[in-house]
Amino acid sequence: MPQIRGANVLIVGATSTIARHAAGQLAARDARLHLAARDEAEARRIGQDLEVRRGAEVSWGPFEATEYDRHERLLDRATEAMGGLDGLLVAVGMLGDQIRAEADPEHLRDVIEVNYGAPASLITAAANRFEEQGRGWIAALSSVAGDRGRPSNYAYGSAKAGLTAFLDGLRGRFHESGVHVLTAKPGPTDTKMTFGMDDPPPLMAEPERVAKRIVWAIEEERDVCYAPPIWRYIMAAIRLIPTPLFKKLDL
């Protein structure tokens, strides 16, 4: 099973609400953490809180997902700070604005790059290192939105669908190795991403519950994790709706 207790774990997008709770779950298992985020000051505050409340060993630093030439350097910094690298949790993402994406191709490109292109690049760099050392795990936050394109958020959903397919392929590449790949698919979650929505989605989950489920899935070496689990069945039903009917639904 993937090593979590005492592991050296890099968390990117570490200031996201789900990532914060996941960091607490990992720290409770004596993992050493390196928190990387665009907002380095906030990453430092999260790290210091974990040090005080959990007695965790935490380091932190800046990370801009779309600066591709810095991905290898981030892995080097994290490895040096922790004395190794055993796991990677990728929580980078942006919901974007669907209406704006329909009118502004540049915004659409940003949504795709942040949710798919940049994470895939970093994951590839880490995967190659894990393959070389013969062990390691990768957990990345995709979304239930990637299971089927809906008119209300197909820009975001299509990017997450791309990430899901990428992780599927990566998992197949490593099926006989010591490297584990988890695709985490949260449903709508009460985070900064959904705060202030005029029409909040149904079944909004608490981020702590979602984070617990993800860390559990890493420990259990699951391939795919819906969080909360009910979304596995909801999305299975949605995928079965015939296209002529589906395209007429207000989803």
User: For the residues of 26-81, what is the DSSP string, one character each?
Assistant: HHTTT-EEEEEES-HHHHHHHHHHHHHHH---EEEEE--TT-GGGHHHHHHHHHHH
In this predicted structure, the answer to whether residue 79 has a pLDDT above a threshold of 60 is: yes
Cβ proximity of 195 and 238 under 8 Å:
no
In this predicted structure, the answer to whether residue 58 has a pLDDT above a threshold of 70 is: yes
Cα 178 to the center of its chain, rounded Å: 21
In percent, the amount of the chain with pLDDT more than 70 equals 94
Our answer to whether residue 226 is catalytic in this structure is: no
Cβ proximity of 66 and 113 under 8 Å:
yes
Cis peptide preceding 228, ω within 30 of 0: yes
Q: Which residues contact 251 (CB under 8 A, 6 or more apart)?
A: 150, 151, 152, 238
Name the pTM for this structure. 0.93
Residue 10: its pLDDT value, please? 98
Report the C-alpha gap between 231 and 63 in whole angstroms.
31
| β-strand pairing of 8-12 with 87-90 | parallel
In this predicted structure, the answer to whether residue 89 has a pLDDT above a threshold of 50 is: yes
Residue 189: its pLDDT value, please? 86
Domains defined for the chain, CATH in brackets: 8-246 (3.40.50.720)
CA distances from 234 to 37, 203, 217, 231 (A): 32, 11, 19, 5
In percent, the amount of the chain with pLDDT more than 90 equals 88
Report the C-alpha gap between 100 and 125 in whole angstroms.
32
SS3 137: strand
Residue 223: its pLDDT value, please? 98
Which is catalytic among the residues 154, 156, 226, 233? 156
Cβ proximity of 123 and 173 under 8 Å:
no
Closest of 19, 54, 59 to residue 211, by C-alpha:
19
Structure tokens at 152: 């209300």
Confidence of residue 2 (pLDDT cuts 50, 70, 90): low
Backbone φ, ψ for residue 13 (5° rounding): 75, 35
Residue 195: its pLDDT value, please? 44
Cα torsion 206, 158, 222, 10: sign: negative
Report the C-alpha gap between 139 and 183 in whole angstroms.
6
Mean pLDDT, the chain, integer: 94
Structure tokens at 13: 């997008």
pLDDT digits (tens, 9 = 90+) for 181-238: 999 999 998 866 554 445 556 677 899 999 999 999 999 999 999 999 999 999 999 9
pLDDT, mean of residues 114-142: 98
In which element (H, E) is residue 25 found?
helix 17-27
Residue 23: its pLDDT value, please? 98
Question: Could you identify the residue written with the tokens 């039903």?
Answer: 237
Residue 199: its pLDDT value, please? 59
Residue 202: its pLDDT value, please? 64
